Copies of this chain bind each other. A is one copy, B any other.
Amino acid sequence: MQSRYFTIHDHPQGMPKRDLFKLEERELPELQDGEVRIRNSWLSVDPYMRGRMDGVTTYIDPFELGKPLEGAAVGEVIESRNSRFKEGDKVRHMGGWRDVAQLPGDQVEALPEFDVPEQAYLGVLGMPGTTAWVGLNIIAEMKDGDNVLVSAASGAVGSLAVQLAKAKGGTVVGIAGDQKKLDWLESQGIKAVSYKGKGAKQLSEDLKAACPEGFDVYFENVGGDCLEAALNNLRVGARIAVCGMISRYNDQTPSAGPGNLAMILIRRARMQGFIVFDHWEHHGDFLKEFASRVASGEIDYQETVEEGLEQTPDAFLKLFEGGNQGKMLVKL
């Protein structure tokens, strides 16, 4: 059986170009004992993948040049030599960026049985949802009534973070760009602040106007001016959960950081970076708390869907142009 997959043959400098990504094809080897073969139906593209293209180990191994790229995917088992899986099983795994994946069964998990579309396990009930939950509850130790600020607030993680925070009853402010995203935030009862065409100073003032008391929690996805403006609006004892700094992922030379880091001291604030995979033991708690709210339609999770394997690189690149609302997915 043939598998079509994307590779890169070079480490990109700055924003990757479309022609970095090669669509290749190969005959899969015979299935080995313990392995399963999966026809993917949905692929995930995520900002963290940019870091894996640089050839250096950060918090995750780099992509290997010339080998199939990796990422979360859901699909259906089409052949199994593993007793845990049979033909027709719906599964989630990391063999994305390809149409047919072949993996050891211990790298594959069966989808839980909640009444949600299967692609939900790549977004609202997958890594992004768990990231929002862990960042707010475990890293930022969000409490009832906390005022919460979220950047990239209509993205895959941010759009869930604002809804989780809103349920705690404090003022929730989301930073986004496009009018459509701002409108969606307002429709959820979130105060929406645009970063477009503003420097850190103006953004600071707009955040202050949106929440004059300041923030107990900042869920950081962006870095740069968003971080600087957030630092100016912290309450004493604030907690910053650093989930990502997407504004910096394509920098070729490091941009300077915020000039007001001393606010960490003045506000006795805590800033902590985290990777959801370090906290995956909470995934079960997260599902228990959240899956029924998703299944009941209470959570308005957004998806941006591109169609066809060929579109995967474009879907990925759009993440850095603000081209997605909610989870960016590729439907095969």
Contacts and interface: CB of A to CB of B under 8 A. Distances in A.
Contact of A254 (B243, B260, B267, B272): B260
A156 to B, nearest CB: 17
A268 interface: yes
B245 A261 contact: yes
Copies in the complex: 2
Interface in A152-196: none
A261 B58 contact: no
Nearest to A224: B261
Contacts of A223: 261-262
A161 to B, nearest CB: 16
Interface stretch (A87-95, A210-218, A273-281): A273-281
A258 B259 CA distance: 8
Majority SS at the chain A contact face: loop
A242 interface: yes
Contacts of A269: 272-273
Interface in A236-280: 236, 242-245, 248, 253-262, 264-275, 278
Contacts of A255: 259
Given A257-B259, A259-B257, A271 B264 contact: yes
B266 A257 contact: no
A329 interface: no
Given A245-B261, A257-B261, A275 B271 contact: no
17 contacts: A59-B266, A59-B267, A242-B264, A242-B265, A244-B265, A245-B265, A253-B259, A254-B260, A255-B259, A257-B258, A258-B261, A264-B272, A266-B273, A268-B275, A270-B270, A270-B271, A271-B271
Given A257-B260, A265-B274, 5 more contacts: A243-B265, A245-B265, A253-B259, A257-B261, A271-B272
